[in-house]
Structure 1
Amino acid sequence: MKWGIFHRVIGLFPQRFKFFVVFVGSHLLAVISILIPKDSKRIMLISYPSFAGNMRYIYERMKELEQFRDYKFIWPVENKGVFGKRENTKFVMYGTVEYLWQLLRSKYIFSSQRIPYWKAKNQIGVMIWHAVPGKRGFWFDKRYQSWVGRLILKSTLRKIDYVVATSEFTKVLFSAIFHIHPEKILVLGMPRCDALFKEKGEALKRLESLLGSKIKNRRIVFYLPTFRDYDRRVTQELFTNLVKDQKFREYLEQRKALFIFKPHPHDEVFVKKYSDEYIRVITNHELMEAGLTLYDILPAADILVTDYSSVFRDYLLLNRPVIFYIPDKKKYCETRGLVLEPFELWTPGDKAKTVEELLKALDEAFENPKKWEKERLWLRDLFFKYKDDRSSDRVIEYFWPLSSVKK
C-alpha cells in the first residue's frame, strides 16, 4: 500500500503549502512515534543507491558476526525484486506503509543521506555521509538561504545523533557544514573504504565477471564524474565527445588501455549503454544485479579520471594517479561551488579541459605515476586518520561496545 494518491493531491497546492503539510505532519508523527516501542535489535540502513555504500559494508560485516544472528536488518529500496531473499534481512519499498512501520519500530537508523524527519527521540540516528566533504552543501548551499530552507536544515539536522568522519580535519568540515557539535562527530573511518584494501587481483576478477570478459595485460582507467546540478546532460556530452574522438580511441588502443565509464546514479538515465574493446559503461543497476558496489571493483583501476567528485579522496588510499577532467570548472564553481578552495591546492593530479589535454595527462600518469605522490600522500593523511580495512569494525564497536569485534 502506497500513499502516492496523497502526494498527488498535495502536489496540486502551492509549494509553501506542500512544505507546511509535510513538515508539520512529519514532526507530529515523530512525537507519536515515541509511544511506539523500539526494537533494540532492529536496524534500518538507508543508502543511495539502494543496498550500497557505507551501509552495505557495515551490514556485510555484521552478518559475519555471531552476536548479530538474531538482529533484523531493514533496507528501504526502490525495487525489492532486485535483491532476492537474505537471512534476517527485510527489503521494503520506499513510500509504503510497510517502510514507515519498519522505520517507526527500529531502534537504530543508519543513513548515508539524511535521517528521516519522523525519527523519534527514542531512536538513534547515525549519519555516515556518502562522501568526504568537498562541495558546498547544507549551510554552505545557496538553496537553503531562505527562511524555509533554513527551517528545513534545522529540522533535518536535529534528527542526527552522530556523524561518522574520517579524520580530525573532516570532523571540522562536518561540524561547519552540518552545524553539528564536534562531540557528536566520531572519527571512525569510512566503511566503504574497507574494500579498497582488498587484493587488486580480487577486484580484477569481480570486474571481469561484471564485464563478462577477461582483462589480459590491460591498463585500466576509471572515469567517475560527479553529478552536475546545473545541467544533467553535461556528463552525457562529455562522454559522447570522448567516444567520438578518433585520437582518444587510437590512444587507448596504443596504450592497451580499457576506459571504464561509470556515471553518477542521477545521470544514468541520460547515458546510453556502450561497449567495445576499449571503452565500457558500467551502471549502478548492473552492479546491484551482480551483488557488487563500485568499491568492490575500484581497486582494479590503475588511473582514476574524475572532476569534482569526492571519490578521488577515497582513491588516495591506493596512492595511484588521479586526473581531473574539468571542461566546465568555471560553470560548476559558479553554480554548486566548492568548500575547499582553491581547487588546484586540493586536487593532487594533472588538470585537463580538452581531450588533447586529457591524453597528455594520461601519458604523464602512465609514464610517471609518482609525479603527484607527495601531494597525494599529504592529502591522504589529512583526510584519513586510519589507513586500514577496519572502519566497519570501528563503527560496530562504538555502538555495540561489548561485541569484541575481531578480524
Structure 2
Amino acid sequence: MGEKAILFGASTLGKVALEYIQETDEGYEVVAFCDNDSRKWGTKFFGVPVIAPEQLVSYNCQIIITSQYDTEIVKQLFGLGIYRFSVFFPSRGQKIKGKDGYQIRKYDYHGVDLKRVNNKIVLRTVSNSGSNTLALYKLMPAEIFKKYQVELISDQERDDKYYYNLITSKAVVFTYPSAIDPSQINIQLWHGFPLKGMSYMSKSEGPGVEQNHLNWSKLDVIASYSQFYTTLMNACYGVSWRKYVVTGMPRNDFLFKADGRKILASILKQDFRGKKILFYMPTFRRTIYGDANGSRDINYLFGLENFDDLSFDHFLDKHGIHMIVKLHPLEESLVVNDILEKKLQNITVLTEQKLKEKNIELYETINAADLLITDYSSVYFDYLLLDRPIIYVPVDLEEYIKTRGLLLEPYDAWTPGPKCLDQARLEQEIIRNFTHPEAYSQERKTLCRIVHHYQDGNSSVRVWNLIDQLMRDDNPKMN
C-alpha cells in the first residue's frame, strides 16, 4: 500500500482523482474524502468516508486538493496550520473527463511569509492561444513594470510559487471563470466575444450556472469590447452593468503591432514568401463538464463528410496557398496526429506546444492570415479588425444550436462571409475571396463597428491604466 491520502473535495473532480489514483501508480492509498458541505460528513463518496475539514489535523495523511476551489481550500488549510499539501489538476489542457493529462503536485509553504504584498499584481494564464493576460504582460508599459511587482502565472503549470503568488497579491486578473477572493481586486478580461450561449444563455452549461453568477458578482471590473458586448455578457452572467469598462482586449493589440508572417515562419520553421496564408480555426466542441456541442466529424478536415485531404492539398499547392490549422488546445490531441500522419505538404498544424516553446501568444501570428476559415469560434470577431475575408463552415449548425445555443441569431446575419458545406464550394470560395477580398467588406465593417468600440492597438494601455487606478491607495475597496 502507498502513502495514505485524503482527497479534499467530494466532487466530480474528486471522483476522477480517486479513479486516477486507483488506476495509476501514483503511490497513494485514499483513506477518506474531506468536504466543506456538512451534508456529506459521515457519509461515503464512492465507497470512501467523508470527513469534516476540522478533522484533518488528527490524520497523519497527505492531503490532496480535488476541487476547482483549490485556492480557497489552500487558505483554509493555512488556517488549520497545514502548510504541506498536494493538488490534483488537469495538465496539458485536459478537462474533467479522461485519465490522461492529470497530475498531482506537492506544495510546501511551511515557514513562508504569506502576507499580502501591496504592489503585487497577478496575471493568470490558461494557454498561449488567445490569452489576454499573456498579451497584457508582454505589452506592459515600462512605468507599470517599475511601479508594480507583476507576476504571470500559469493555471496549467502551477509551479511551486503558484499559490504563494495568488494569495499574496493585491490584484488578480483572469481570463476564465474562477473562484473570487473579495478581499483582493479582481479583474475579468475573458477570452473572446461570444457567439455561442454561455452560463444562463447556454443549453449545456451544467450545474455551475448559479456559481458562475456568484463569482462574476464578486468581480470588481469586467473589461469590455463595447456596449454591445456588455449587453451580451450580462445576459449570460447577470451582474451589475457598472462592473463593465470598455477598454478593448489586449490580445487584439497584436493584430496591429506584430509581424505575424515573420513570427509564424520562425515558429513553424517554414518559408512563406510568395504564399497566401489561410488559417483554419474551429471552435472547441465540448463544455468543461465534457458535454459535446454539435456533431462535427473530427475525422474530416472542416468536418466536411468525405473530404479528400490529398485533393485539397493539391488544390492549395496549385494556387500557392498554405493552410495553418489552429485547433483549440483541448482538441489538439484528438486531431493533430491524424493530420501529421498524412504528411500533407501545404497544411501545417500550429500547436499550443509550439507557441509555448517560443513564448508566443497566438494573436501575434493571426495577422499573417490573408483569409480565415471558422465555424462558431469567437476569433472571427477579432479578425474583423483586419477587414480580411472570412469563410464559414457551419457543418452542424442545427445540432450546435440544439445542444449549445447561439447568443446571436440568425447565424447568417452575424457571419459576414460565404457558408460552405462541401469541398467543391469551399475551394471555389477560397479562390473567389483571395481574388476579390473586398467581397463582404461592407458587412465586415458594419459588424466591426458594433463589436469593437476601439479599433486601434492600444487596449493594453487602457487596461493597464484601469488596473493602475484600482491599485491606488485611495481606492475605497482597499481602505
TM-score of the two chains, using structure 1 as the length reference: 0.83
Residues 345/314 of structure 1: CA separation in 2 closer, same or farther (3 Å cut): same
Residues 4/319 of structure 1: CA separation in 2 closer, same or farther (3 Å cut): farther
Residues 349/71 of structure 1: CA separation in 2 closer, same or farther (3 Å cut): same
Task: Confirm whether residue 215 of structure 1 aligns to residue 272 of structure 2.
Answer: yes
Match of 2:167 among 101, 104, 108: 104
Q: Partners in 1 of 2:154 and 2:247 — Cα distance?
A: 25
Task: Confirm whether residue 124 of structure 1 aligns to residue 202 of structure 2.
Answer: no
Q: Partners in 2 of 1:23 and 1:271 — Cα distance?
A: 28
Residues 8/244 of structure 1: CA separation in 2 closer, same or farther (3 Å cut): farther
CA deviation map 1:171-202 (0-9, x unaligned): 11122111121110010001000000026xx2
Instruction: State the match for 1:247 in structure 2.
Output: 311
Q: Partners in 2 of 1:357 and 1:51 — Cα distance?
A: 29
For structure 1, the residue ranges without an aligned partner over 5 or more in a row are 80-91
SS in 2 for 1:39: coil
Q: % of aligned pairs identical?
A: 29
Q: How much is the aligned-residue C-alpha RMSD, in angstroms?
A: 3.2
For structure 2, the residue ranges without an aligned partner over 5 or more in a row are 19-44, 54-66, 80-113, 287-291, 472-479
CA deviation map 1:220-257 (0-9, x unaligned): 10000110122699463232878843432222122110
Residues 45/181 of structure 1: CA separation in 2 closer, same or farther (3 Å cut): same
Instruction: State the match for 2:334 in structure 1.
Output: 270
Match of 1:171 among 230, 243, 255: 230
Instruction: State the match for 1:396 in structure 2.
Output: 464
1:6-405 pair list within 5 angstroms: 6=7, 10-11=14-15, 13=45, 37-49=115-127, 53-62=131-140, 64-65=142-143, 68=146, 70-79=148-157, 92-93=158-159, 98-115=161-178, 117=179, 119-144=180-205, 148-198=207-257, 202-229=259-286, 230=292, 234=296, 236-239=298-301, 244-273=308-337, 274=340, 276-401=344-469
CA deviation map 1:66-95 (0-9, x unaligned): 65365141403434xxxxxxxxxxxx43xx
How far is 1:158 from its partner? 2.9
Instruction: State the match for 1:84 in structure 2.
Output: none
Q: Partners in 2 of 1:341 and 1:402 — Cα distance?
A: 37
Residues 51/334 of structure 1: CA separation in 2 closer, same or farther (3 Å cut): closer
Residues 264/150 of structure 1: CA separation in 2 closer, same or farther (3 Å cut): closer
How far is 1:318 from its partner? 0.1
Q: Partners in 1 of 2:173 and 2:324 — Cα distance?
A: 31
Q: Partners in 2 of 1:4 and 1:141 — Cα distance?
A: 37
How far is 1:337 from its partner? 1.6
**Contact 2:194–2:233 (CA under 8 A) maintained in structure 1:** yes
Tell me whether 217-226 or 60-69 shows the greater mean CA deviation: 60-69
Tell me whether 376-385 or 53-62 shows the greater mean CA deviation: 53-62
SS in 2 for 1:62: coil
Residues 144/323 of structure 1: CA separation in 2 closer, same or farther (3 Å cut): closer
Q: Partners in 2 of 1:122 and 1:348 — Cα distance?
A: 44
Amino acid at match of 1:277: Q
Judging by fraction of residues, say which structure has more helix. Answer: 1
**Contact 2:277–2:322 (CA under 8 A) maintained in structure 1:** yes
